[in-house]
Chain A
Amino acid sequence: MSTITHTGALRRPPPIVTRFLVLAALFAVWEAASRAGYVSAFILPPPSAIFQSFEMLFVHEGLVAAFLRTFAEAFAAAGIGSLIGVAVGYTLHRVKIAGRAFTGWVAASASAPLVLLYPLFLVIFGRNSATIVAMGVVGCMPPIILKTKEGLDNVRPVLLNIGRSFGLTPWKQFWMIQFPAALPTIFNGVRIGLLFAIINVVGVEYLIVFGGLGQLISDLGDRFEIPGMYAGILFVILVSVCFFFITEKIETWLLSSK
Protein backbone atom coordinates (compact mmCIF):
# COMPACT_ATOMS: atom_id res chain seq x y z
CA MET A 1 0.00 0.00 0.00
CA SER A 2 2.62 2.46 1.07
CA THR A 3 4.88 1.59 -1.85
CA ILE A 4 2.09 2.29 -4.31
CA THR A 5 1.45 5.75 -2.90
CA HIS A 6 5.19 6.28 -2.71
CA THR A 7 5.80 5.55 -6.38
CA GLY A 8 2.62 7.49 -7.19
CA ALA A 9 4.07 10.49 -5.44
CA LEU A 10 7.38 10.02 -7.22
CA ARG A 11 5.80 10.15 -10.64
CA ARG A 12 4.33 13.55 -9.86
CA PRO A 13 6.56 16.59 -9.65
CA PRO A 14 6.06 18.84 -6.63
CA PRO A 15 2.97 21.07 -6.98
CA ILE A 16 5.01 24.23 -7.41
CA VAL A 17 6.83 22.77 -10.44
CA THR A 18 3.58 21.65 -12.05
CA ARG A 19 2.10 25.07 -11.33
CA PHE A 20 4.83 26.84 -13.26
CA LEU A 21 4.81 24.27 -16.06
CA VAL A 22 1.06 24.82 -16.49
CA LEU A 23 1.58 28.58 -16.51
CA ALA A 24 4.40 28.31 -19.07
CA ALA A 25 2.30 25.99 -21.26
CA LEU A 26 -0.59 28.45 -21.10
CA PHE A 27 1.60 31.31 -22.28
CA ALA A 28 3.15 29.13 -25.02
CA VAL A 29 -0.27 28.11 -26.38
CA TRP A 30 -1.44 31.73 -26.20
CA GLU A 31 1.66 32.95 -28.06
CA ALA A 32 1.33 30.27 -30.72
CA ALA A 33 -2.42 30.76 -31.19
CA SER A 34 -2.03 34.51 -31.48
CA ARG A 35 0.89 34.32 -33.92
CA ALA A 36 -0.70 31.65 -36.08
CA GLY A 37 -3.83 33.77 -36.30
CA TYR A 38 -6.19 31.31 -34.57
CA VAL A 39 -7.25 34.21 -32.37
CA SER A 40 -7.18 37.80 -33.50
CA ALA A 41 -3.92 39.43 -32.43
CA PHE A 42 -5.95 42.61 -32.01
CA ILE A 43 -8.21 41.09 -29.35
CA LEU A 44 -5.59 38.85 -27.78
CA PRO A 45 -2.06 40.06 -28.60
CA PRO A 46 0.74 37.51 -28.11
CA PRO A 47 2.44 37.62 -24.67
CA SER A 48 5.72 38.68 -26.30
CA ALA A 49 4.06 41.86 -27.61
CA ILE A 50 2.54 42.51 -24.19
CA PHE A 51 5.89 42.12 -22.43
CA GLN A 52 7.53 44.41 -24.98
CA SER A 53 5.03 47.16 -24.30
CA PHE A 54 6.06 47.22 -20.64
CA GLU A 55 8.98 49.36 -21.76
CA MET A 56 6.57 51.81 -23.39
CA LEU A 57 4.53 51.96 -20.17
CA PHE A 58 7.60 52.68 -18.06
CA VAL A 59 9.14 55.26 -20.41
CA HIS A 60 6.19 57.09 -21.95
CA GLU A 61 3.12 56.43 -19.84
CA GLY A 62 4.48 57.11 -16.36
CA LEU A 63 3.74 53.65 -14.97
CA VAL A 64 5.87 54.19 -11.86
CA ALA A 65 4.22 57.51 -11.01
CA ALA A 66 0.76 55.99 -11.53
CA PHE A 67 1.70 53.05 -9.31
CA LEU A 68 3.01 55.32 -6.53
CA ARG A 69 -0.08 57.49 -6.74
CA THR A 70 -2.50 54.58 -6.50
CA PHE A 71 -0.65 53.07 -3.55
CA ALA A 72 -0.32 56.42 -1.78
CA GLU A 73 -4.09 56.85 -2.09
CA ALA A 74 -4.74 53.32 -0.89
CA PHE A 75 -2.40 53.67 2.09
CA ALA A 76 -3.89 57.06 3.00
CA ALA A 77 -7.34 55.50 2.88
CA ALA A 78 -6.26 52.53 4.98
CA GLY A 79 -4.56 54.83 7.49
CA ILE A 80 -7.67 56.96 7.97
CA GLY A 81 -9.83 53.83 7.92
CA SER A 82 -7.67 52.18 10.60
CA LEU A 83 -7.90 55.16 12.95
CA ILE A 84 -11.68 55.36 12.66
CA GLY A 85 -12.16 51.60 12.40
CA VAL A 86 -10.13 50.70 15.50
CA ALA A 87 -11.94 53.41 17.50
CA VAL A 88 -15.34 52.16 16.36
CA GLY A 89 -14.33 48.53 16.96
CA TYR A 90 -13.15 49.40 20.46
CA THR A 91 -16.46 51.17 21.18
CA LEU A 92 -18.45 48.18 19.95
CA HIS A 93 -16.34 45.96 22.22
CA ARG A 94 -16.50 48.22 25.25
CA VAL A 95 -20.17 49.27 25.12
CA LYS A 96 -21.77 45.84 24.93
CA ILE A 97 -25.22 47.11 24.04
CA ALA A 98 -23.81 49.06 21.08
CA GLY A 99 -21.92 45.95 20.02
CA ARG A 100 -25.15 43.94 20.03
CA ALA A 101 -27.03 46.67 18.17
CA PHE A 102 -24.53 47.54 15.44
CA THR A 103 -22.07 44.69 14.82
CA GLY A 104 -24.64 43.07 12.53
CA TRP A 105 -24.99 46.29 10.59
CA VAL A 106 -21.24 46.54 10.07
CA ALA A 107 -21.10 42.91 8.94
CA ALA A 108 -23.95 43.55 6.49
CA SER A 109 -22.18 46.61 5.10
CA ALA A 110 -19.10 44.44 4.47
CA SER A 111 -21.04 42.52 1.81
CA ALA A 112 -22.99 45.54 0.55
CA PRO A 113 -21.92 47.17 -2.74
CA LEU A 114 -20.58 50.25 -0.94
CA VAL A 115 -18.34 51.31 -3.83
CA LEU A 116 -21.49 52.31 -5.70
CA LEU A 117 -21.78 55.27 -3.34
CA TYR A 118 -18.98 56.95 -5.26
CA PRO A 119 -21.28 59.31 -7.24
CA LEU A 120 -22.36 60.76 -3.89
CA PHE A 121 -18.73 61.46 -2.96
CA LEU A 122 -18.15 62.75 -6.47
CA VAL A 123 -20.78 65.46 -5.97
CA ILE A 124 -19.45 66.30 -2.49
CA PHE A 125 -15.70 66.35 -3.13
CA GLY A 126 -15.54 66.78 -6.90
CA ARG A 127 -13.50 64.74 -9.36
CA ASN A 128 -10.21 64.54 -7.44
CA SER A 129 -8.11 62.47 -5.07
CA ALA A 130 -10.40 63.20 -2.11
CA THR A 131 -13.21 61.19 -3.70
CA ILE A 132 -10.86 58.31 -4.41
CA VAL A 133 -9.43 58.24 -0.88
CA ALA A 134 -12.93 58.55 0.60
CA MET A 135 -14.06 55.49 -1.35
CA GLY A 136 -10.98 53.63 -0.13
CA VAL A 137 -11.88 54.54 3.46
CA VAL A 138 -15.46 53.35 2.99
CA GLY A 139 -14.19 50.07 1.57
CA CYS A 140 -11.60 49.30 4.24
CA MET A 141 -13.60 50.14 7.37
CA PRO A 142 -15.90 47.12 7.80
CA PRO A 143 -13.15 44.45 8.12
CA ILE A 144 -11.08 46.69 10.42
CA ILE A 145 -14.04 47.37 12.74
CA LEU A 146 -15.09 43.72 12.85
CA LYS A 147 -11.59 42.35 13.41
CA THR A 148 -10.80 44.92 16.11
CA LYS A 149 -13.94 43.96 18.01
CA GLU A 150 -13.25 40.25 17.50
CA GLY A 151 -9.68 40.62 18.74
CA LEU A 152 -10.63 42.57 21.84
CA ASP A 153 -13.56 40.27 22.62
CA ASN A 154 -11.31 37.23 22.54
CA VAL A 155 -8.51 38.42 24.82
CA ARG A 156 -8.03 35.60 27.34
CA PRO A 157 -9.61 36.42 30.72
CA VAL A 158 -6.44 35.17 32.44
CA LEU A 159 -4.48 38.06 30.91
CA LEU A 160 -7.08 40.57 32.04
CA ASN A 161 -6.98 39.13 35.57
CA ILE A 162 -3.20 39.48 35.71
CA GLY A 163 -3.55 43.14 34.77
CA ARG A 164 -6.18 43.56 37.44
CA SER A 165 -4.02 41.90 40.09
CA PHE A 166 -1.32 44.46 39.30
CA GLY A 167 -3.91 47.18 39.81
CA LEU A 168 -3.64 48.61 36.29
CA THR A 169 -5.81 51.58 35.42
CA PRO A 170 -8.29 50.94 32.57
CA TRP A 171 -6.06 52.99 30.25
CA LYS A 172 -2.95 50.92 31.10
CA GLN A 173 -5.03 47.75 30.98
CA PHE A 174 -5.88 48.65 27.39
CA TRP A 175 -2.40 49.64 26.22
CA MET A 176 -0.40 46.98 28.08
CA ILE A 177 -2.73 43.99 27.81
CA GLN A 178 -5.82 44.22 25.61
CA PHE A 179 -4.29 45.99 22.61
CA PRO A 180 -1.14 43.83 22.34
CA ALA A 181 -3.18 40.65 22.80
CA ALA A 182 -5.63 41.70 20.09
CA LEU A 183 -2.94 43.04 17.74
CA PRO A 184 -2.58 39.99 15.45
CA THR A 185 -6.34 39.96 14.82
CA ILE A 186 -6.41 43.73 14.30
CA PHE A 187 -3.47 43.44 11.87
CA ASN A 188 -5.43 40.83 9.94
CA GLY A 189 -8.34 43.30 9.70
CA VAL A 190 -6.09 46.16 8.58
CA ARG A 191 -4.50 43.94 5.95
CA ILE A 192 -7.88 42.90 4.52
CA GLY A 193 -8.94 46.55 4.74
CA LEU A 194 -5.91 47.64 2.76
CA LEU A 195 -6.70 45.11 0.02
CA PHE A 196 -10.30 46.38 -0.14
CA ALA A 197 -8.96 49.94 -0.27
CA ILE A 198 -6.72 49.05 -3.25
CA ILE A 199 -9.67 47.44 -5.04
CA ASN A 200 -11.88 50.49 -4.48
CA VAL A 201 -9.14 53.00 -5.34
CA VAL A 202 -8.27 51.30 -8.64
CA GLY A 203 -11.97 50.87 -9.42
CA VAL A 204 -12.89 54.52 -8.83
CA GLU A 205 -9.76 55.72 -10.66
CA TYR A 206 -10.84 53.62 -13.62
CA LEU A 207 -14.43 54.87 -13.50
CA ILE A 208 -13.75 58.59 -13.16
CA VAL A 209 -10.54 58.42 -15.24
CA PHE A 210 -8.52 60.28 -12.67
CA GLY A 211 -5.26 59.50 -10.89
CA GLY A 212 -3.09 56.41 -11.00
CA LEU A 213 -3.23 52.91 -12.45
CA GLY A 214 -6.99 52.87 -13.05
CA GLN A 215 -6.76 55.95 -15.22
CA LEU A 216 -3.77 54.54 -17.08
CA ILE A 217 -5.65 51.38 -18.06
CA SER A 218 -8.73 53.35 -19.04
CA ASP A 219 -6.65 55.66 -21.26
CA LEU A 220 -4.81 52.82 -22.96
CA GLY A 221 -8.11 51.06 -23.64
CA ASP A 222 -9.69 54.21 -25.06
CA ARG A 223 -6.72 54.67 -27.42
CA PHE A 224 -6.95 51.02 -28.49
CA GLU A 225 -3.34 50.58 -27.38
CA ILE A 226 -4.23 46.94 -26.80
CA PRO A 227 -0.86 45.31 -25.94
CA GLY A 228 -0.13 48.26 -23.61
CA MET A 229 -3.55 47.84 -22.02
CA TYR A 230 -2.90 44.14 -21.39
CA ALA A 231 0.49 45.03 -19.91
CA GLY A 232 -1.16 47.57 -17.62
CA ILE A 233 -3.75 45.04 -16.47
CA LEU A 234 -1.04 42.43 -15.92
CA PHE A 235 0.92 44.97 -13.91
CA VAL A 236 -2.04 45.76 -11.62
CA ILE A 237 -2.67 42.05 -11.07
CA LEU A 238 1.03 41.31 -10.39
CA VAL A 239 1.34 44.23 -7.99
CA SER A 240 -1.75 43.24 -6.01
CA VAL A 241 -0.62 39.61 -5.89
CA CYS A 242 2.86 40.62 -4.63
CA PHE A 243 1.28 42.92 -2.11
CA PHE A 244 -1.07 40.23 -0.85
CA PHE A 245 1.80 37.74 -0.67
CA ILE A 246 4.11 40.05 1.31
CA THR A 247 1.48 41.14 3.83
CA GLU A 248 0.46 37.51 4.26
CA LYS A 249 4.07 36.62 5.11
CA ILE A 250 4.28 39.50 7.59
CA GLU A 251 1.11 38.31 9.23
CA THR A 252 2.35 34.72 9.60
CA TRP A 253 5.58 36.09 11.04
CA LEU A 254 3.66 38.25 13.52
CA LEU A 255 1.60 35.28 14.60
CA SER A 256 4.57 32.98 15.00
CA SER A 257 6.63 35.47 17.02
CA LYS A 258 3.73 36.23 19.32
Chain B
Amino acid sequence: MAVVEQVALRSGVRPAAAPAAFWTVTRLRVAAIVVIFALWEIAGSSGFFYSGVLPSSLLIFKAFVGLLLSASFWFHAGVTGFEVAAAFVIGISTGALTGLILGANRYTGAVFEPFLHYLAPTPKIVFLPILLILFGVGVGSKISLGAISCFFPMALSVAAGVRQVNPVYLRVGRTFNLTRLQTVRMIYLPALIPPIASGLRIGLGISIVGCLMSEIKLSRAGLGFSAMEYYRIFDIPSMLAVLVFIFVCAAAGNVVIDRYVRLPGPQTARA
Protein backbone atom coordinates (compact mmCIF):
# COMPACT_ATOMS: atom_id res chain seq x y z
CA MET B 1 0.00 0.00 0.00
CA ALA B 2 2.75 2.41 1.02
CA VAL B 3 4.57 1.76 -2.24
CA VAL B 4 1.46 2.46 -4.24
CA GLU B 5 0.96 5.70 -2.34
CA GLN B 6 4.55 6.75 -3.04
CA VAL B 7 4.27 5.97 -6.73
CA ALA B 8 1.00 7.84 -6.87
CA LEU B 9 2.55 10.78 -5.05
CA ARG B 10 5.59 10.93 -7.29
CA SER B 11 3.52 10.77 -10.45
CA GLY B 12 1.17 13.36 -9.07
CA VAL B 13 -1.92 11.16 -9.38
CA ARG B 14 -3.35 12.86 -6.29
CA PRO B 15 -6.20 15.17 -7.24
CA ALA B 16 -4.88 18.66 -7.89
CA ALA B 17 -4.06 19.81 -4.35
CA ALA B 18 -7.56 20.20 -3.00
CA PRO B 19 -8.48 23.88 -3.01
CA ALA B 20 -11.43 22.65 -1.02
CA ALA B 21 -9.79 22.45 2.39
CA PHE B 22 -13.05 24.02 3.52
CA TRP B 23 -15.00 20.89 2.60
CA THR B 24 -14.70 18.25 5.27
CA VAL B 25 -16.70 15.02 5.15
CA THR B 26 -19.14 16.25 7.79
CA ARG B 27 -19.68 19.64 6.14
CA LEU B 28 -20.25 18.00 2.79
CA ARG B 29 -22.83 15.63 4.25
CA VAL B 30 -24.68 18.41 6.04
CA ALA B 31 -24.64 20.46 2.84
CA ALA B 32 -26.03 17.49 0.87
CA ILE B 33 -28.88 17.04 3.34
CA VAL B 34 -29.69 20.76 3.21
CA VAL B 35 -29.65 20.70 -0.61
CA ILE B 36 -31.93 17.64 -0.74
CA PHE B 37 -34.45 19.29 1.60
CA ALA B 38 -34.28 22.55 -0.35
CA LEU B 39 -34.81 20.76 -3.68
CA TRP B 40 -37.77 18.89 -2.23
CA GLU B 41 -39.38 22.11 -0.98
CA ILE B 42 -38.69 23.96 -4.24
CA ALA B 43 -40.04 21.09 -6.36
CA GLY B 44 -43.12 20.84 -4.15
CA SER B 45 -44.02 24.52 -4.33
CA SER B 46 -42.90 25.06 -7.94
CA GLY B 47 -46.28 24.13 -9.35
CA PHE B 48 -44.50 21.75 -11.71
CA PHE B 49 -46.14 18.75 -10.05
CA TYR B 50 -49.79 18.33 -9.07
CA SER B 51 -50.42 20.16 -5.84
CA GLY B 52 -50.05 18.01 -2.77
CA VAL B 53 -47.93 15.40 -4.52
CA LEU B 54 -44.69 16.57 -2.92
CA PRO B 55 -45.86 17.99 0.41
CA SER B 56 -43.60 20.24 2.44
CA SER B 57 -41.29 18.40 4.84
CA LEU B 58 -43.00 20.24 7.69
CA LEU B 59 -46.31 18.60 6.78
CA ILE B 60 -44.59 15.20 6.59
CA PHE B 61 -43.03 15.82 9.99
CA LYS B 62 -46.41 16.76 11.45
CA ALA B 63 -47.97 13.62 9.94
CA PHE B 64 -45.07 11.60 11.35
CA VAL B 65 -45.68 12.91 14.87
CA GLY B 66 -49.40 12.28 14.40
CA LEU B 67 -48.68 8.68 13.43
CA LEU B 68 -46.43 8.08 16.41
CA LEU B 69 -49.23 9.25 18.70
CA SER B 70 -51.94 7.06 17.15
CA ALA B 71 -52.67 3.59 18.47
CA SER B 72 -53.69 2.13 15.11
CA PHE B 73 -50.26 3.01 13.67
CA TRP B 74 -48.54 0.99 16.37
CA PHE B 75 -50.89 -1.91 15.70
CA HIS B 76 -49.90 -1.91 12.01
CA ALA B 77 -46.23 -1.45 12.91
CA GLY B 78 -46.51 -4.40 15.28
CA VAL B 79 -48.01 -6.64 12.58
CA THR B 80 -45.27 -5.72 10.10
CA GLY B 81 -42.58 -6.03 12.78
CA PHE B 82 -43.77 -9.51 13.63
CA GLU B 83 -43.88 -10.54 9.96
CA VAL B 84 -40.39 -9.24 9.21
CA ALA B 85 -38.93 -10.77 12.38
CA ALA B 86 -40.49 -14.17 11.68
CA ALA B 87 -39.48 -14.08 8.00
CA PHE B 88 -35.94 -13.03 8.89
CA VAL B 89 -35.47 -15.73 11.54
CA ILE B 90 -36.90 -18.50 9.34
CA GLY B 91 -35.10 -17.45 6.15
CA ILE B 92 -31.76 -16.73 7.80
CA SER B 93 -31.62 -19.93 9.86
CA THR B 94 -32.64 -22.26 7.03
CA GLY B 95 -30.31 -20.32 4.71
CA ALA B 96 -27.35 -20.64 7.08
CA LEU B 97 -27.99 -24.35 7.57
CA THR B 98 -28.27 -24.95 3.81
CA GLY B 99 -25.11 -22.94 3.27
CA LEU B 100 -23.21 -25.02 5.84
CA ILE B 101 -24.30 -28.28 4.22
CA LEU B 102 -23.50 -27.13 0.68
CA GLY B 103 -20.19 -25.62 1.71
CA ALA B 104 -18.98 -28.54 3.81
CA ASN B 105 -19.85 -31.26 1.30
CA ARG B 106 -18.13 -30.75 -2.01
CA TYR B 107 -20.36 -33.08 -4.05
CA THR B 108 -23.68 -31.89 -2.57
CA GLY B 109 -22.52 -28.35 -3.16
CA ALA B 110 -21.66 -29.07 -6.79
CA VAL B 111 -25.06 -30.66 -7.37
CA PHE B 112 -27.36 -28.17 -5.66
CA GLU B 113 -25.57 -24.86 -5.46
CA PRO B 114 -26.24 -23.89 -9.10
CA PHE B 115 -29.97 -24.00 -8.28
CA LEU B 116 -29.48 -21.39 -5.57
CA HIS B 117 -26.98 -19.40 -7.60
CA TYR B 118 -29.37 -18.99 -10.50
CA LEU B 119 -32.58 -18.66 -8.49
CA ALA B 120 -31.14 -15.99 -6.20
CA PRO B 121 -31.43 -13.03 -8.61
CA THR B 122 -34.97 -13.83 -9.83
CA PRO B 123 -37.90 -11.64 -8.75
CA LYS B 124 -39.36 -13.44 -5.71
CA ILE B 125 -42.55 -11.38 -5.74
CA VAL B 126 -43.91 -13.62 -8.53
CA PHE B 127 -44.27 -16.41 -5.95
CA LEU B 128 -46.81 -14.34 -4.03
CA PRO B 129 -49.91 -15.65 -5.89
CA ILE B 130 -48.91 -19.21 -4.96
CA LEU B 131 -48.22 -18.21 -1.35
CA LEU B 132 -51.59 -16.44 -1.18
CA ILE B 133 -53.31 -19.68 -2.23
CA LEU B 134 -51.25 -21.72 0.21
CA PHE B 135 -51.28 -19.47 3.29
CA GLY B 136 -54.14 -17.04 2.75
CA VAL B 137 -54.33 -13.26 2.95
CA GLY B 138 -53.04 -13.10 6.55
CA VAL B 139 -49.51 -12.94 7.91
CA GLY B 140 -48.59 -16.40 6.55
CA SER B 141 -48.17 -15.31 2.93
CA LYS B 142 -46.10 -12.26 4.02
CA ILE B 143 -43.79 -14.23 6.29
CA SER B 144 -43.22 -16.92 3.67
CA LEU B 145 -42.34 -14.42 0.92
CA GLY B 146 -39.95 -12.57 3.24
CA ALA B 147 -38.34 -15.86 4.30
CA ILE B 148 -37.90 -17.03 0.70
CA SER B 149 -36.31 -13.67 -0.16
CA CYS B 150 -33.63 -13.71 2.53
CA PHE B 151 -32.94 -17.45 2.33
CA PHE B 152 -30.90 -17.20 -0.89
CA PRO B 153 -28.26 -14.57 -0.08
CA MET B 154 -27.64 -16.16 3.33
CA ALA B 155 -27.25 -19.70 1.91
CA LEU B 156 -24.89 -18.58 -0.88
CA SER B 157 -22.86 -16.34 1.40
CA VAL B 158 -22.34 -19.02 4.06
CA ALA B 159 -21.57 -21.75 1.48
CA ALA B 160 -18.88 -19.55 -0.07
CA GLY B 161 -17.58 -18.70 3.40
CA VAL B 162 -17.21 -22.35 4.42
CA ARG B 163 -15.31 -23.10 1.23
CA GLN B 164 -12.95 -20.19 1.78
CA VAL B 165 -11.75 -21.34 5.20
CA ASN B 166 -7.98 -21.55 4.87
CA PRO B 167 -7.06 -25.28 4.78
CA VAL B 168 -3.79 -24.45 6.54
CA TYR B 169 -5.78 -23.39 9.62
CA LEU B 170 -7.62 -26.71 9.54
CA ARG B 171 -4.32 -28.59 9.34
CA VAL B 172 -2.89 -26.52 12.20
CA GLY B 173 -6.03 -27.35 14.16
CA ARG B 174 -5.49 -31.05 13.49
CA THR B 175 -1.88 -30.73 14.62
CA PHE B 176 -3.13 -29.33 17.91
CA ASN B 177 -5.65 -32.18 18.20
CA LEU B 178 -8.65 -29.88 18.33
CA THR B 179 -11.96 -31.59 18.96
CA ARG B 180 -14.70 -31.11 16.37
CA LEU B 181 -16.41 -28.53 18.58
CA GLN B 182 -13.17 -26.63 19.06
CA THR B 183 -12.57 -26.65 15.31
CA VAL B 184 -15.98 -25.13 14.71
CA ARG B 185 -15.59 -22.56 17.47
CA MET B 186 -11.98 -21.56 16.84
CA ILE B 187 -11.60 -21.91 13.07
CA TYR B 188 -14.94 -22.08 11.23
CA LEU B 189 -16.93 -19.56 13.25
CA PRO B 190 -14.43 -16.68 13.12
CA ALA B 191 -13.98 -17.28 9.39
CA LEU B 192 -17.75 -17.30 8.86
CA ILE B 193 -18.58 -14.07 10.67
CA PRO B 194 -17.98 -11.78 7.63
CA PRO B 195 -20.15 -13.88 5.25
CA ILE B 196 -22.84 -14.23 7.93
CA ALA B 197 -22.81 -10.47 8.49
CA SER B 198 -23.15 -9.76 4.78
CA GLY B 199 -25.92 -12.37 4.46
CA LEU B 200 -27.76 -10.75 7.37
CA ARG B 201 -27.40 -7.26 5.93
CA ILE B 202 -28.66 -8.16 2.45
CA GLY B 203 -31.26 -10.49 3.94
CA LEU B 204 -32.76 -7.84 6.23
CA GLY B 205 -33.34 -5.39 3.38
CA ILE B 206 -34.97 -7.91 1.09
CA SER B 207 -37.07 -9.59 3.76
CA ILE B 208 -38.50 -6.15 4.58
CA VAL B 209 -39.17 -5.65 0.86
CA GLY B 210 -40.78 -9.10 0.60
CA CYS B 211 -43.11 -8.60 3.57
CA LEU B 212 -44.09 -5.04 2.66
CA MET B 213 -44.65 -5.70 -1.02
CA SER B 214 -47.00 -8.55 -0.23
CA GLU B 215 -48.80 -6.32 2.30
CA ILE B 216 -49.18 -3.66 -0.38
CA LYS B 217 -50.56 -6.20 -2.83
CA LEU B 218 -53.16 -7.82 -0.62
CA SER B 219 -53.60 -7.52 3.13
CA ARG B 220 -55.77 -6.24 5.93
CA ALA B 221 -53.07 -4.99 8.32
CA GLY B 222 -49.49 -3.83 8.45
CA LEU B 223 -47.51 -0.75 7.43
CA GLY B 224 -47.75 -1.56 3.71
CA PHE B 225 -51.52 -1.79 4.10
CA SER B 226 -51.74 1.52 5.98
CA ALA B 227 -49.45 3.31 3.46
CA MET B 228 -51.79 2.16 0.68
CA GLU B 229 -54.85 3.31 2.65
CA TYR B 230 -53.31 6.80 2.93
CA TYR B 231 -52.54 6.66 -0.80
CA ARG B 232 -56.16 5.82 -1.57
CA ILE B 233 -57.52 8.82 0.37
CA PHE B 234 -54.66 10.96 -1.03
CA ASP B 235 -53.22 11.74 2.40
CA ILE B 236 -49.71 11.95 0.89
CA PRO B 237 -47.95 13.40 3.99
CA SER B 238 -49.09 10.43 6.09
CA MET B 239 -48.18 7.96 3.34
CA LEU B 240 -44.66 9.43 3.15
CA ALA B 241 -44.42 9.46 6.95
CA VAL B 242 -45.10 5.70 6.96
CA LEU B 243 -42.37 5.19 4.31
CA VAL B 244 -39.95 7.33 6.35
CA PHE B 245 -40.70 5.19 9.40
CA ILE B 246 -39.97 2.01 7.41
CA PHE B 247 -36.65 3.40 6.13
CA VAL B 248 -35.59 4.53 9.60
CA CYS B 249 -36.33 1.03 10.97
CA ALA B 250 -34.41 -0.64 8.11
CA ALA B 251 -31.43 1.65 8.66
CA ALA B 252 -31.50 1.00 12.40
CA GLY B 253 -31.51 -2.75 11.71
CA ASN B 254 -28.44 -2.37 9.49
CA VAL B 255 -26.62 -0.36 12.14
CA VAL B 256 -27.32 -3.07 14.72
CA ILE B 257 -26.01 -5.79 12.39
CA ASP B 258 -22.89 -3.77 11.52
CA ARG B 259 -22.15 -3.04 15.16
CA TYR B 260 -22.78 -6.40 16.77
CA VAL B 261 -22.06 -9.02 14.12
CA ARG B 262 -18.32 -8.66 13.76
CA LEU B 263 -15.07 -10.23 14.77
CA PRO B 264 -13.83 -9.51 18.27
CA GLY B 265 -10.71 -7.39 18.04
CA PRO B 266 -9.59 -4.83 15.53
CA GLN B 267 -9.63 -6.95 12.35
CA THR B 268 -10.69 -6.17 8.84
CA ALA B 269 -13.92 -4.70 7.77
CA ARG B 270 -14.09 -6.01 4.23
CA ALA B 271 -15.22 -3.23 1.94
Contact = CB atoms under 8 A, between A and B. Distances in A.
Interface of A: 12, 15, 18-19, 22, 43, 94-98, 100-102, 108, 111-113, 115-117, 119-120, 122-124, 157-158, 160-161, 164, 195, 198-199, 202-203, 206-207, 213-214, 217-218, 220-221, 226, 229-230, 232-233, 236-237, 240-241, 244-245
A122 B50 CA distance: 12
The 9 closest A-B pairs by CB, nearest first: A221-B129, A15-B110, A111-B205, A202-B123, A240-B122, A101-B28, A199-B123, A113-B209, A203-B125
B219 to A, nearest CB: 12
A198 B205 CA distance: 17
Nearest to A235: B126
Contacts of A157: 4, 7-8, 11, 13
Contact of A124 (B4, B53, B132): B53
Interface in B114-135: 114-115, 118-119, 121-130, 132-134
A119 B115 CA distance: 33
B126 A100 contact: no
B111 A198 contact: no
Nearest to A161: B11
A241 B122 contact: yes
B18 A97 contact: yes
Nearest to B10: A161
Interface residues of B, number: 64
B159 interface: no
Given A161-B7, A207-B213, A230-B130, A111 B202 contact: yes
A123 B231 CA distance: 9
Given A158-B7, A161-B7, A218-B129, 20 more contacts: A18-B111, A19-B112, A19-B115, A97-B28, A111-B254, A112-B247, A113-B250, A116-B208, A116-B209, A119-B227, A119-B231, A157-B7, A157-B8, A202-B123, A202-B126, A206-B126, A207-B213, A217-B129, A233-B129, A237-B122
Contacts of B122: 199, 236-237, 240-241, 244
B246 interface: yes
Nearest to A158: B7
Interface stretch (B92-100, B161-169, B180-188, B236-244): B236-244
Contact of A160 (B11, B20, B133): B11
Interface string B199-230: 00110111011001100110000001001100
B104 to A, nearest CB: 16
Interface string B13-47: 10100101001110011001000000000000000
A97 B23 contact: yes
B246 A113 contact: yes
A234 to B, nearest CB: 9
A124 B49 contact: yes
A90 B204 CA distance: 29
25 contacts: A12-B107, A22-B111, A43-B133, A96-B15, A96-B18, A100-B25, A102-B28, A102-B32, A108-B251, A111-B205, A111-B254, A113-B209, A113-B247, A116-B209, A198-B123, A199-B121, A199-B125, A203-B125, A213-B126, A217-B126, A218-B129, A226-B133, A229-B130, A233-B129, A237-B126
A214 B126 contact: yes
B89 interface: no
B22 to A, nearest CB: 10
A119 B11 contact: no
A43 B23 contact: no
A143 to B, nearest CB: 11
A30 B111 CA distance: 20
B90 interface: no
B232 to A, nearest CB: 10
A202 to B, nearest CB: 4
Contacts of B206: 113
Contacts of A158: 7
Contact of A115 (B4, B107, B129, B213): B213
B146 to A, nearest CB: 11
Given A113-B205, A123-B231, A229 B129 contact: yes
Contacts of A15: 107, 110-111
Nearest to B43: A124
